[in-house]
Amino acid sequence: MSLKTALFSAVAAHWTGDAALRQRRADAERARRRAGAPHLVEYFHQVDDPYSHLAAQALRLMTDRYAVELKPWVVGAPEDWAAPERALLLDHARGDAARLAAAADLRFIDPGAQPDPALIAAATGHLVRTKDPILFLDRAITLGDALWRGSAIRDVDPRDAGAADPAAQVAEGDARRKALGHFMSGMIHYGGEWYWGVDRLHYLEARLAELGVRRIGAPETPVYLPPATPRGAAAAPRPGLELHYYLSFRSPYTYIAAARAAALARAYGAELKLRFVLPMVMRGLPVPQMKSRYFTLDTAREARRVGAPFGRIADPVGAPVERGYSLLPWAIRQGRGFEYCLSFMKGVWSEGIDAGQDAGLRRIVQRAGLSWSDARPLIGNDDWRAEAEANRQEMMQLGLWGVPCFRVDDVSVWGQDRMWVIEDALIARTRD
């Protein structure tokens, strides 16, 4: 391992660790107290983003539970670099938000298309004039309900409505979001840390509870807690039942989903099919530092929740991924495909193993129960590329473009946050 890789791995381990997180939170709290500032929660709402519509509903519940000061912003859509497959993202977001709404007891029904631009402009114009933060949430919910139904955006409650230039207000929200270090909508910021809408709100609630700002009599359970998977125990194999796992060795979310994907397959007797694709950045799709930073810190937080070791990173982008993939079809033929994938990803995402060097790859191969002497001559072959591209094309046909993705029959989802949807599909299939 090079000195550069070793240093980066050590720094990443500290930066993503629980101790560093707690230190950052303590520093933020000390700064807040010194300034005599309130517990300020900043929220970034995009009127035609379905996740924002859900986030506004969840935040409205949360502000009744915690003594915080809310500062809402209206923002525009993410820039092109943050949404490289925008058409697919929009379609996916609507369907995914509808599933999440049902699970979290919130409101959203996918109308099958984005709202009319004139309705979006009208909703934005109403919302940017709203100064009171709680009224902002109420109005965002009312406007969102109408917007996603395709209804006319009628005049809303005139209380607290001031004059505003919508374009200027949205630009101000965009600038504030960027200054704080983010790029997506439906995002919540508190004390130097980001929380993505409904899915990450429980982390903010736990943090606020630790700070002692939960209101007397408020529920101790979060507004929404992601379901744990798998719920079932090991089952006998069911012929023909397959769980397709679209993965990338360079995706930290793919890594922290790996053990759960295998557990899901075992729990319902499904065959786990490994569908590897090239990382986005190696397919020419941009992953800027702002995006990488948030995803790494968010993965670390999620890894702690699901019990996956994470943080001692040796980024495998480029040759290490290609070397790893050159052995994967062989490992699958040996019946050790998953063991090899897990060994590789655990090595590069939690142990600082440099898969670009033979010493590192040898360790990955051998602990997966494979022969290094058989593997060594295969390193660097290109036979895997056609399979990786076929997997990517199939993933795109499903309306998905990033990893991890999962599919059971005609049910497909993107992200380790939605593995409960796949479990529901497996349960339904085993009842057939």
Domain annotation covers residue 344: yes
Tell whether omega for the bond before 237 is within 30 degrees of 0, i.e. cis.
Answer: no
pLDDT digits (tens, 9 = 90+) for 67-105: 999 999 999 999 988 888 899 999 999 999 999 999 999
> Is the confidence at residue 194, as pLDDT, over 60?
yes
Does residue 128 sit in the same domain as residue 192? yes
- Supply the pLDDT for residue 163: 56
- Supply the pLDDT for residue 417: 97
Domain annotation covers residue 426: yes
> Is the confidence at residue 157, as pLDDT, over 70?
no
> Is the confidence at residue 385, as pLDDT, over 90?
yes
Does residue 177 sit in the same domain as residue 46? yes
Range 311-336 average pLDDT = 97
- Supply the pLDDT for residue 44: 98
Cβ atoms 244, 406 nearer than 8 A: yes
Task: Report DSSP state, residue 18.
Answer: H
Does residue 205 sit in the same domain as residue 246? no
Domain annotation covers residue 3: no
Range 162-185 average pLDDT = 91
Does residue 376 sit in the same domain as residue 424? yes
Domain that holds residue 186: 38-210
| pLDDT range class, residue 158, cuts 50, 70, 90 | low
Does residue 173 sit in the same domain as residue 287? no
Residue with tokens 């609507």: 94
SS3 category, 365: helix
CA-CA distance, 332 to 257, in Å (whole number)? Answer: 19
Does residue 419 sit in the same domain as residue 352? yes
Domain annotation covers residue 220: no
Global pTM exceeds 0.85: yes
CA-CA distance, 296 to 329, in Å (whole number)? Answer: 28
Domain annotation covers residue 198: yes
Report DSSP letters for 166-202, one per residue: HHHHHHHHHHHHHHHT---SSEEEETTEEEEHHHHHH
Domain annotation covers residue 13: no
Range 4-30 average pLDDT = 94
Does residue 195 sit in the same domain as residue 312? no
Packing angle between helix 419-430 and helix 252-268, nearest 10 degrees? 20
- Supply the pLDDT for residue 222: 97
Does residue 43 sit in the same domain as residue 120? yes
| pLDDT range class, residue 286, cuts 50, 70, 90 | low
Q: Domain containing 125 — which CATH number?
A: 3.40.30.10
DSSP bridge pairs for 242: 271
Domain count, the chain: 2
Phi, psi of 258 (to 5 degrees): -60, -50
Does residue 251 sit in the same domain as residue 134? no
Does residue 309 sit in the same domain as residue 409? yes
Does residue 124 sit in the same domain as residue 60? yes
For the chain, percent of residues with pLDDT exceeding 70: 96
| pLDDT range class, residue 232, cuts 50, 70, 90 | confident
Does residue 152 sit in the same domain as residue 300? no
Longest Cα separation, the chain: 75
